[in-house]
Amino acid sequence: MTKEVTSRLTIFLAALASLLAFTWPLVIGSGQQDQSALAQGVFIALMPLVIIVTLVEFAGGELDSRRIALLGVLIALNAVIRLLGAGVSGIETAFFIIILGGYVFGAGFGFILGGASLLVSALLGAGVGPWLPFQMMAAGLIGLGAGLLGRTSSRRPTLDPRAKGRFERLQLICYSVFASFSYGALMTLWNWPFLAGTGSSISYVAGASLFENLSRFIKFEIFTGGLIWDLGRASTTVALILVTGPALLATLRRAANKAGFVTARA
């Protein structure tokens, strides 16, 4: 098995494990789990997962000392920027760097950037709690998805530079909206059984069918205003990408070329 295949397989398994952790209300048929115990278990599983992804990327040549230094700078920068919003009233300032970083440097880099950014920002003051490991996984998935988007983008036919720039911005805007709503849905899903209580049409029902619990969850999102909150996150991320995207993409690509990233997008 080649290093590239090993790297892709590891990232896929990391993404799958993250998604399974979020969707436990839809796949676990027993009674509700204790919130702190669930979060603790996820955190224990998450830390080795991030370390494994990092080691595999390092062994595969995707990360060396220069690239790790660049990753550290982006994590620190994004952690500080997140403190300007940290989700207040739906404002989220961290996602645009995760998306652009993953888009330029690849899926593995984006996964680590997303998860570590949320961890460092929480330690700096954004808040540490049972939600943190889930925030880290969700942000990691956003960075991973951006990396896959960048890989797909690099394979399309060469376009006129202006047309390419417009198409790229449109791609990133559409992905930002999708990622913002997906992040909100995942963050609500893991915590939904604890928030919704029992005995209502939007409550989690242990042992119910996938379709029934999924329909209840959608009602919960609609009735509690979760979609409006996610709209604020999407609007903030799109605005920041529109304002900073062209300059930041150019800067990241120059840094990628200097660091020798084979996944850098021209």
Amino acid at 122: A
- Amino acid letter for position 209: S
- pTM score of the predicted model: 0.80
* 118 occurs within a structural domain: yes
- Is residue 265 situated within a structural domain? no
Q: What is the pLDDT of residues 93-118, one digit of tens each?
A: 889 999 999 999 888 888 889 988 98
Cα 111–Cα 116–Cα 117 angle in degrees, nearest 5:
100
Q: Are 220 and 188 in contact (CB under 8 A)?
A: yes
**Cβ-contact 15, 186 below 8 angstroms:** no
Chain position carrying tokens 């995942």: 186
Per the domain annotation, does 161 fall within a domain? yes
201-247 confidence digits (pLDDT tens): 888 877 777 788 888 888 888 877 677 778 888 999 999 999 988 88
Task: Give Cα 156 to chain centroid, integer Å.
Answer: 24
Place of tokens 């669930």: 38
Domain membership of residue 141 (yes or no) is yes
Structurally, how many domains does the chain consist of?
Answer: 1
- The pLDDT tens digits of the residues spanning 34-75 come to 544 555 565 556 656 666 666 666 555 556 677 788 888 999
Measured CA distances, 13 to 45, 50, 187, 196, 241 (Å): 13, 11, 20, 30, 29
Confirm whether 266 is domain-assigned: no
Distances (CA, A) of 101 to 17, 75, 117, 211: 22, 10, 12, 36
Helices (H) and strands (E) in the chain, counts: 10, 0
In a domain, 63, yes or no: yes
User: Is 58 among the domain residues?
Assistant: yes
Residue 264 in any domain: the answer is no
Parent domain of 161: 3-259
In percent, the amount of the chain with pLDDT more than 90 equals 13
84 by DSSP, 3-state: which? coil
